[in-house]
Every structure is written in C-alpha cells, then in structure tokens.
C-alpha cells in the first residue's frame, strides 16, 4: 500500500527544529506541502522552509503561540485561505523545565500546561472543520514516555501535560472517527534535541544512554518515521493509540544498565548469553 500522502497539506507546530523539523522534511520527501509553526524561532523556521522547498514542495512559516486559542484560530484560517485546508496536523510544540513539586511556580505550571496540553487541544479543535470538509484527516500528537510514567528529571508539570495529551488523543479519536479523522500519539523516549541537551550534562546523557536496551537514544528521524506512518494510508485502521519510540527504555529494570544486569545475574549463578 502506498503512503497516500502526495499533495496533502501538513501543519507542524514547533516545526523550526528538532522533532518538528525532522517530521517536516520526512513529509516533504513524500510529496507533502508543509506549514511550519513556531513561537519564537523565526530564523530556524525559515531555514527549515528553505530545505522543504529544495525537496520540491510548498512551504510557509506562520508564527503563533499555540497556547493562545485566538492565535491558533488565526493560523488555521490563514492556511485555509492560502492553501485551501489542512489534511495532517502534528502537535509537536512543547516546553519543559526542571523543578521539584514544592519549587514549581504557577507561571511555569501554566506555561508548560498551556503549550503542551492546551496547545494540543486548541490546534486539534481548530482543524476539525477543514478536515471534515476534505473528507478526513490525520492528527498526530507528540506526547512522551513521561506521559506513561515520569520523566528522568523533576518536572511534574511536564508529566501532567504529556499524560493529558494521551487522554485527549483517545477522546478526540472517539469523537472524530465518524468523520474519517484518525488521532494518535507518539511517545518518544529521550531524543537528543536542543531542548534535551539544555536539560542534561554530557555525563548525565551518557548515564541515560546506558539505560537504553538498544544501546542508543532515539533520533529525531526515528520519531519522524513513526509520525509519517501514522499520517499515512498504511495506518488507516489505527486510531486512539499511542506508539512508544524509546529504544526499549520503558522496559525498565529499576535503573540498571546492561553491565550491572549481567553482573547481578552472574552473581546469582545464572548465565546470560
């Protein structure tokens, strides 16, 4: 079965770099025209647009804060006026931070929940009308393994937001299935994006990597490949689901890396091959 993506229009929030950029280039490579949304990073958003155009597809940037419903609605209206509608939405925009619960400021809580959860709701709600008119569509929400457990750092707002995204995914999928709109989520593990490297030191990143059974962290391309699949005709019977892309990290053995695991098993008189 073909991917069925040629001449589709995709809106990717937080698309200037990282996972969003990787998704944009993957879509463009399959014949999709791409709208890059970002809030602050206009420079990298424009650079991503240039790369998309080199692949022979249309592209444009719309700067908007997804935590602001008015700005989201204006963004979607602009796409409809210029390109006729939206077939694919990737809710990728996200922010995080590090703080223990008692040190989490309300302003930080509001911002993380506003971008990560409210933004997913506002953007998904805004595209329903245009997807209905076009006979269906695909919504892919970028959640996190933090939505299934907790993140590797103290960030209760991020945990709450990403868990909420999974709940929204299921609910939107149920209500929109009748209109041929599939809604799914991707739960990445730790991906070496700019945001990830701002949160951790090189030694901390190496310690995290050692806890991945496949031996390495997922790349932005790994996440983009999964998003591409969920947006394609090959995933036409998948909705309301979340796919974990984490190199086996959630197969946790209590924080032990492989060498420690093998040593403990050998000490117990068991053989590991």
Q: DSSP H helical segments within the chain, as ranges?
A: 18-29, 42-54, 69-83, 106-112, 119-133, 156-176, 194-199, 202-209, 220-231, 258-267
CA–CA distances in Å: residue 38 to residues 18, 81, 197: 12, 19, 20
Within 8 A by CB and 6+ apart from 195, the residues are 18, 94, 95, 96
The residues annotated with a catalytic role in the active site are 158
* Packing angle, helices 18-29 and 220-231, rounded to 10: 50
Smallest CA-to-CA distance from 153 within 97, 108, 111, 225 is with 97
């Amino acid at each position: 079965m073909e991917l069925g993506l040629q001449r589709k229009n995709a809106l990717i929030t937080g698309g200037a770099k990282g996972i969003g950029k990787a998704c944009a280039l993957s879509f463009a490579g399959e014949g999709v025209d791409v709208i890059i949304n970002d809030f602050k990073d206009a420079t990298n958003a424009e650079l991503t647009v240039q790369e998309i155009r080199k692949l022979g597809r249309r592209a444009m940037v719309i700067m908007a804060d997804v935590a602001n419903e008015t700005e989201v609605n204006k963004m979607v209206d602009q796409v409809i006026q210029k390109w006729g509608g939206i077939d694919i939405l990737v809710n990728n925009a996200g922010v995080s931070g590090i703080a223990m619960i008692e040190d989490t400021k309300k302003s930080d809580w509001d911002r993380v929940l506003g971008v990560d959860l409210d933004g997913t709701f506002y953007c998904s709600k805004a595209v329903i009308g245009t997807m209905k008119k076009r006979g269906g569509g695909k919504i892919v929400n970028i959640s996190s393994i933090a939505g299934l457990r907790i993140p590797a750092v103290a960030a209760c707002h991020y945990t709450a937001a990403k868990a909420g995204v999974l709940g929204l995914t299921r609910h939107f999928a149920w209500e929109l299935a009748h209109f041929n709109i599939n809604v799914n989520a991707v739960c990445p593990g730790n991906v070496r994006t700019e945001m990830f490297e701002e949160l951790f030191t090189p030694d901390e990143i190496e310690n995290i990597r050692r806890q991945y059974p496949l031996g390495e962290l997922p790349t932005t391309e790994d996440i983009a490949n999964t998003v591409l699949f969920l947006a394609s005709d090959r995933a036409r019977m998948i909705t309301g689901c979340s796919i974990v892309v984490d190199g086996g990290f959630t197969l946790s053995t209590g924080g032990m890396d492989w060498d420690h695991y093998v040593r403990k098993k050998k000490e117990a008189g068991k053989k590991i091959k």
